[in-house]
Amino acid sequence: MCGIAGILEFGRDARASAAALREMCGVIRHRGPDDDGFYTDGAVGIGMRRLSIVDVAGGHQPISNEDGTLSIVFNGEIYNHLALREQLIARGHSYRTHSDTETVIHLFEEYGADCVQHLRGMFAFAIWNRNTRTLFIARDRLGIKPLYYKWTPERLLFGSEIKAVLAHGGIRPEFNRAALPEYLAFGYLSGEESFYNGILKLLPGHTMTVGPEGLAEIRQYWELDASTPHQSRDESYYIHSYRELLEGAVNSHLMSDVPLGVFLSGGVDSSAVAALMTKLRREPVETFSVGYTEQSYSELPFARAVSDHIQSRHHEVLVSEPEFFGALPHLIWHEDEPIAWPSSVSLYFVAKLARERVTVVLTGEGADETLAGYSRYAFTLKNAALDRAYRSFVPGSLRRGLRNAVATSSLLGASLRRTLEHTFLAKDGNSWASFYFDNFFSAFGEVEQEGLLTSEFAREAAPSTAYKNVLDYWERSSGELLQRLLYTDIKTYLVELLMKQDNMSMAASIESRVPFLDHVLVEFATRIPRDMQIHGLAGKRILKKAVEDLLPRSILYRPKLGFPTPWSGWLAGPRLETIREMLLEPRSLERGYFRREAIETLFREHRAQHRDNYDRIWRLLNLELWHRVCLEGEAHDELGEPAMRMLTTR
């Protein structure tokens, strides 16, 4: 695990700056505090920061092949590298280290760009070919490891984090203003663009090859085919097959020369990983959990129950309201973008706790998106069926009247209104953006954005573009409704979750691994028939049955809470007013994005409990803090001073 960065100059006699490369790697030192390494060859420079995990003594990067014509910097883990190593040695390749990084470069010698087809793991890497003067960059299939780049007429810059790209001299961070509608809707950007003008993501499952003339070829090498469910077989087949694949994935993810642990929430996913890890290692494992000082929002009792059951060495941390808000600017700096969900903050605190004892943690990320674990999947299937009947019997004018009543009636409280807003009574079944994305993702839908944005900015940014990227994936999906939902979320929502997981763990210099996202396991899971996946409003039926011998039913079949955060409760106190004042400061309004009266209405509705606007307020606060920290350079130290001084309780 590490952070990587690189420069490729395009001028005839241009040379990559070794000093600039060191600056780019220096700003991501948190990703690899153990070591650094650099390679320059005329127009190219590649570098890295290393968190030593496999072949601690001998895995220094960059690594070259036998004759020095290829050099690589690598971020990630290749879990099948030992099997690949045997094959490559049999084909005549010579190894100098025991590192999985060296396996990648020998694979590239053997297969060229198709080397990625042989890899099982998480990765982002760059290989320089000295003979052909070409640069090859790749990212893993599901986007577990990040890779950003900026292309100018003079050069290509790339790095594991946006801040590494920005650290190259002469680049001024500028807001990608056209991205605001999608952010307001989803809290993140699901396409290749970032929040910064000209800085792009290499999408999951893609490679980039840049030739000596400065021309790039970007190619997709993997696509998830969830369109056709497996032919329905006996339930025992799916249970046995999934258990076998999951146990194999967890076993492969234990590859390490340093201590490992598990992030344990007490939910099914992380509990299954912890139980399998205990079974495989035949010894107590280290488990780490996080909660809040507000006990009603804590899942710690469930995590303790799992820990007691598997007899792990368990560790906990509690996050208080001042700690949460104090860390927010620091974590926005680490993510380089506004934070999509409050749970990122707690993830950072549990990663800090884990770093005191281990270097690697396994997590349960990815099970919900591949096994229909969120209630929104079952709810949408039922909601769609009811909507079809509703639209066939109820005239359009009456449906529009009911939608308006749900949105505006003073007879409805915030809680009941929020519940009804999720049903077919409040959503337009003719618009999938409304029926699914507005229903479960959007803080500000298209109509709400029209009232929020200034008229000048609305003309520039176009609220109608909010859904473009995610709808592109939806239209690309095929098959039954459940498979289309899983495909779209894996391509969009999950990628953002993985970015959060990566950045928050690496902020604490710890590697997180996601065995549920072994791509072979994912390909199997997403094609399990719907009736095997979902029971009532609960998903992950196959997973639960697959680990019934390892965990008590009280853990496996309890209602899913989704790691609640006291954010909405905190907004019932004095902090609501201090956030309002920040968003209405002249410097905030002068950005020209939002109408003052719209923000005032948002807070007035929330204060009166007419509408629960906690997610909308979170979006606006994070955008404002991002501007101050990432664009304007305000302090982002861990105590949050002075950037959060205004948000301290008065």
Residues noted as catalytic: 2
- Residue 348: its H or E element: helix 343-355
The β-bridge partners of 33 are 50
Q: What secondary structure, in 3-state letters, does 480-531 show?
A: CHHHHHHHHHHHCHHHHHHHHHHHHHHHCCCEEECHHHCHHHHHHHCCCCHH
Distance of alpha carbon 412 from alpha carbon 399, whole angstroms: 18
- Residue pair 162/196 in contact by the 8 Å Cβ criterion: yes
Strand 155-159 versus strand 206-210 pairing type: unpaired
Query: Comparing C-alpha atoms, which of 355, 311, 351, 297 is closest to residue 505?
Result: 351
Query: What is the DSSP code string of 204-230?
Result: TTEEEEE-TTS-EEEEE------SSPP
Query: Comparing C-alpha atoms, which of 457, 465, 547 is closest to residue 245?
Result: 547
- Residue pair 414/609 in contact by the 8 Å Cβ criterion: yes
Angle (CA) 334 339 344, round 5°: 80
Distance of alpha carbon 209 from alpha carbon 197, whole angstroms: 22
**DSSP tag of 559:** P
Query: Comparing C-alpha atoms, which of 93, 56, 74 is closest to residue 139?
Result: 74
Structure token digits, residue 76: 């990630």
Distance of alpha carbon 607 from alpha carbon 615, whole angstroms: 14
Structure token digits, residue 496: 């953002």
State the Cα torsion 571-572-577-578 to the nearest 10°: -50
Mutual angle of helices 481-491 and 375-393, in 10-degree steps: 130
Residues in Cβ contact with 255 at an 8 Å cutoff, skipping those fewer than 6 apart: 54, 77, 79
Strand 286-292 versus strand 260-263 pairing type: parallel
Displacement of CA 548 from its chain's centroid (Å): 29
- Residue pair 451/598 in contact by the 8 Å Cβ criterion: yes
Radius of gyration of the chain (CA): 25
